[in-house]
Amino acid sequence: MKKVLMMLFAVLLFASCNKEAGEPQPQKEQEQKHYSLSLDVAASTEVQRYKALDHLNYKFDNGKVKPNLVPGEEIEVYTQILAYRGIRLETGYTDKLKWRVSDDGKKLYCKQTIRDMTFNPNDYDKVTLVAGIYAMRNIHSDIIPLPENNEVKVFTPTTSSAFSMKVPYFLPEMELKKDAQGIYVNKLLANNKFKPKGYLLKVHVKNELNEPLSLSGVQSCGLVPDIVNYAGSGSIADRPLKGQYKTSYYTNRKFSFSKDFTVPAGATSSEAFLMWLPEMINNADYLIDLIVKDVPSQAFYVSKLFTKSSPSEYVEGNMYTVTLTVRPIIRNPLDYVSEYAVNKDGTGFLTNWDDFAP
């Protein structure tokens, strides 16, 4: 009986093996499909003050910051294609794409075909585009750049010198539509503008000491954050590139000036330094100080940077000219009182601590 059962088991096992060998085997790893999307989109720029896409290069004209873009040059722009089902963001694609500056310097164009998308845009109800310039450190990081190498740019507004400074610009989300050739385009150009994020400060220094003040940097706690990154985490559906970010303040940040400068006694500096802030804060929430190259003989303190009473009075995307005032520290009034009330002759009161006394 035992031999019969063993033979039956062997027959069943052989039949099972033959059946499996005859059936097609599923692929262990399905090859990833890739889809393409052709773009022909444009975005205009602001035309006043530092809003005119001068995030790349600044020049100075009559003391004002003006854009210094080269017509026809290409700019690397972090670009996201987002796909929706109904109102739900399902998936997306992010890459650094080349956008070209128009001949008049007022528009950016992106005309190219993306060939390595992992989703089919035709399968979704809505396809949108968002973009950011200097929005991330790299394609794998969502941290917005702060001053590079902890250096703050110093310039003289009356000169014609030019320099670069990274200020994040974002293009708000815009819906794309397919034209007759199947190319995704944006129709409402007037509403599509790259806009600067945060606040740009042009800071002069006023010296109320009775001696020159040589400066090499600035330090602050609570003014410039340690970390600026996008809110949310996880998939692209949780954090599209829409310019929403969160900040963290931990340490006293120290920044060197790109060049040292000296402010004469009783004067305001012709030089200024530029600082970009991702958000505006209350006067009570920060401390700021200047780093001196040669310590003056007078003890001093530095005034507050902002004059407006509320952060809401500052408009995002604007540049503000502010003045830091260096003032001598007032001595304790009791230091000016003499140890004795009257002079040795008893003919008058003593008014200074170093007046003659018996």
- Name residues whose C-beta falls within 8 Å of residue 173's C-beta, 6 or more positions apart in sequence: 82, 128, 129, 130, 240, 242
Copy the structure tokens of residue 151.
Answer: 């250096």
pLDDT confidence of residue 158: 66
Q: What is the pLDDT of residues 282-323, one digit of tens each?
A: 877 888 899 999 888 888 889 888 888 888 898 887 788 899
Across residues 22-50, what is the average pLDDT?
A: 57
Q: How confident is the model at residue 271 (pLDDT cuts 50, 70, 90)?
A: very high
- Name residues whose C-beta falls within 8 Å of residue 270's C-beta, 6 or more positions apart in sequence: 156, 157, 158
97, pLDDT greater than 80: yes
Which stretch of DSSP H or E encloses residue 252?
Answer: strand 252-263
Report the DSSP pairing between strands 35-45 and 193-196: parallel
What's the rounded Cα separation, in Å, for the pair 183 and 333?
Answer: 77
CA atoms in the 13 A half-sphere facing the CB of 319: 19
pLDDT confidence of residue 144: 77
Nearest 5°: the CA angle 221, 313, 197 is 65
The answer to whether the CB of 145 falls within 8 A of the CB of 278 is: no
Copy the structure tokens of residue 238.
Answer: 């949780």
| DSSP classification of residue 313 | G
**Which of 39-48, 58-67, 263-272, 339-348 holds the top average pLDDT?**
263-272
What is the domain partition of the chain in residue ranges? 35-328
What's the rounded Cα separation, in Å, for the pair 57 and 101?
Answer: 13
Copy the structure tokens of residue 348.
Answer: 């008058």
Across residues 276-285, what is the average pLDDT?
A: 84
The answer to whether the CB of 102 falls within 8 A of the CB of 45 is: no
29, pLDDT greater than 50: no
280, pLDDT greater than 70: yes
